Amino acid sequence: MKITVVGTGYVGLVSGACFADVGIEVVCVDIDQKKIDKLKKGVMPIYEPGLEEIVVRNYQSGRLTFSTNLGEAIQDSEVAFIAVGTPPGEDGSADLKYVLAVADEIGRTMNDYIVVATKSTVPVTTGCKVKKAIQDALDKRGSDLKFAVASNPEFLKEGAAVEDFLKPDRIIIGVEDDRAEEIMKRLYKPFQLSGDRIIYMDIPSAEMTKYTANAMLATKISFMNDIANLCELVGADANMVRSGIGSDPRIGNKFIYPGVGYGGSCFPKDVKAIVKTAKQYGYDLRVLEAVEAVNDDQKYKLVHKVKKHFGDDLSGKTFAMWGLSFKPNTDDMREAPAIVIIDELRAAGAKVKAYDPIAMEEAKEVYVGDKVTYCKDAYDACVDADALLLVTEWSEFRIPSWSALNKLLNNKVIFDGRNIYDRKYLNELGFTHYGIGV
């Protein structure tokens, strides 16, 4: 079986490499020649645990190839996945220009029946637009070739994407005919999913499933952040409340950790996009509008605490910041709370010394630039700092040397944006601890 994956971003590259790993012949296509050249040399465009190994292994075996030529790649492919970016447009809705350009090119170059499956997160009704773009291109050629469109959204978590792909909780496939369903079944057979974990449905439902999953998870987080803020006011401990409610299986203990707000490439973008879609249909998704508003505010919470402790004017102060990426195990800085926190601290006159195990290069190049001093390790960031802000809960920050911090920090104050430290223990050591909801 041969397939083509268009777009070697996060979703496309992980999917292509994992399909190749179960024996499928995969061509990964991207318009970015430099990216393709690097991939051929084994240089990954993103940091993702296990990805390099699986890409290199399958490239060397010849099952995984890289190309900039989509027309050539899709010859004799049974499936073409569209996994190109859908950046948010100015009004918050997903911009489909890349998706539709790929659909058009497939229509112009396909040589046989093909299933065109969208993996990018796309608004409901995109399936119809993709179908129209392919059909229009075929009509222009005067071709009567047949094809089917499908929606196969991805549920990969950054930092665990390879594992999520190889051992998925579920696979959602939106299809419109039996022939396409049979091909998708064959494609996913190697993943040995027991019966009900591959769920077939119509295309709009598959598209809605993706948004609903991300929106629900974002809702859990904002809900818990909102509650955590109230916990602080009434003198309750949000960590206790979290374990108290999480033991109810109807609620579940995941995604209810209060913190500095959700970031990343999916939640912020997808919540905005579904709210926008609803508006286009004359409906207000009021819950999700609140989810977004709570999250926007939450990114400022840690700085509010800093100002409460040190005063509104932070000039002359220096803060150590541990963690820059939006979550651990990724170098992804998109919508990272750290960006807002840095800007706020600087606006109040403070300096920031930052350390992140993986994301410093990405931060420096694109998102933060020279606004902070980048440090060689966690302790280096604390030299002469007035206090420490924990922003991303990387494992290496979990049990620091408190005696070293005691010597390095000018004030024994920790602003713990992820509630990873035990306040009682820190108080015993003489530190002041601020958390979220505690």
Catalytic residues: 266
Q: Rank residues 265 and 277 by Cβ distance to ligand UDX and give the closer one.
A: 265
Segment interacting with ligand UDX (CB under 6 A) among 80-88, 258-266, 279-287, 427-435? 258-266
**DSSP label at 31?**
S
Residue among 6, 266, 275, 368 that touches ligand UDX (CB under 6 A): 266
C-beta of 214: minimal distance to ligand UDX in Å? 5
Cα 264 to Cα 270: distance, rounded to the nearest angstrom? 10
Q: How many CB atoms lie within 10 A of CB 295?
A: 23
Residue whose token pair is 């040397």: 401
Tokens coding 134: 């392919």
221 binds ligand UDX per the rule CB under 6 A: yes
Tokens coding 353: 């010394």
Cα 254 to Cα 246: distance, rounded to the nearest angstrom? 7
Q: Which of 289, 283, 274 is nearest to 125 (CA)?
A: 274
Cα 17 to Cα 54: distance, rounded to the nearest angstrom? 6
DSSP letters spanning 364-383: IIIISGGGSEE-SSHHHHHT
105 binds ligand UDX per the rule CB under 6 A: no
Burial degree of 247 (CB within 10 A; 0-12, 13-18, 19+)? exposed
Q: Rank residues 81 and 267 by Cβ distance to ligand UDX and give the closer one.
A: 267
DSSP letters spanning 270-336: HHHHHHHHHHHTT---HHHHHHHHHHHHHTTHHHHHHHHHH-S--TT-EEEEE--SSSTT----TT-
Residue among 47, 81, 165, 267 that touches ligand UDX (CB under 6 A): 267
255 binds ligand UDX per the rule CB under 6 A: yes
Segment interacting with ligand UDX (CB under 6 A) among 70-78, 177-185, 196-204, 252-260? 252-260
Residue among 263, 357, 417, 435 that touches ligand UDX (CB under 6 A): 263
Cα 86 to Cα 151: distance, rounded to the nearest angstrom? 15
214 binds ligand UDX per the rule CB under 6 A: yes
331 binds ligand UDX per the rule CB under 6 A: no
Q: Rank residues 257 and 431 by Cβ distance to ligand UDX and give the closer one.
A: 257
Cα 429 to Cα 431: distance, rounded to the nearest angstrom? 6
Segment interacting with ligand UDX (CB under 6 A) among 136-144, 170-178, 257-265, 407-415? 257-265
CA distances, 349 to each of 208, 272, 313, 339, 345 (Å): 45, 32, 7, 16, 7
435 binds ligand UDX per the rule CB under 6 A: no
Residue among 262, 355, 374, 415 that touches ligand UDX (CB under 6 A): 262
Q: Rank residues 259 and 357 by Cβ distance to ligand UDX and give the closer one.
A: 259
Q: What is the contact mask toward ligand UDX in residues 407 to 426, using x (rule: CB under 6 A)?
A: --------------------
324 binds ligand UDX per the rule CB under 6 A: no
158 binds ligand UDX per the rule CB under 6 A: yes
Segment interacting with ligand UDX (CB under 6 A) among 80-88, 253-261, 315-323, 404-412? 253-261
Residue among 47, 257, 394, 397 that touches ligand UDX (CB under 6 A): 257
Q: Could you give the strand order of the β-sheet that contains 373-374, starting from the edge strand earlier in sequence?
A: 373-374, 351-355, 318-322, 387-390, 413-416, 432-434
Residue among 157, 167, 179, 304 that touches ligand UDX (CB under 6 A): 157
Q: Rank residues 266 and 275 by Cβ distance to ligand UDX and give the closer one.
A: 266
51 binds ligand UDX per the rule CB under 6 A: no
**DSSP label at 45?**
S
C-beta of 264: minimal distance to ligand UDX in Å? 3
Site size with ligand UDX, rule: CB under 6 A: 19
- Residue 40: phi and psi, rounded to 5, are -65, -25
Segment interacting with ligand UDX (CB under 6 A) among 74-82, 124-132, 151-159, 423-431? 151-159
Instruction: Report the C-alpha dihedral over residues 396, 374, 299, 11, rounded to 10 degrees.
Output: -70
Cα 38 to Cα 183: distance, rounded to the nearest angstrom? 32
C-beta of 246: minimal distance to ligand UDX in Å? 10
Q: Rank residues 155 and 402 by Cβ distance to ligand UDX and give the closer one.
A: 155
C-beta of 267: minimal distance to ligand UDX in Å? 5
155 binds ligand UDX per the rule CB under 6 A: yes
Cα 253 to Cα 348: distance, rounded to the nearest angstrom? 37
Instruction: Please give the residue ranges that form the binding site for ligand UDX (CB under 6 A).
Output: 154-158, 214, 217, 221, 255-257, 259, 262-264, 266-267, 326-327
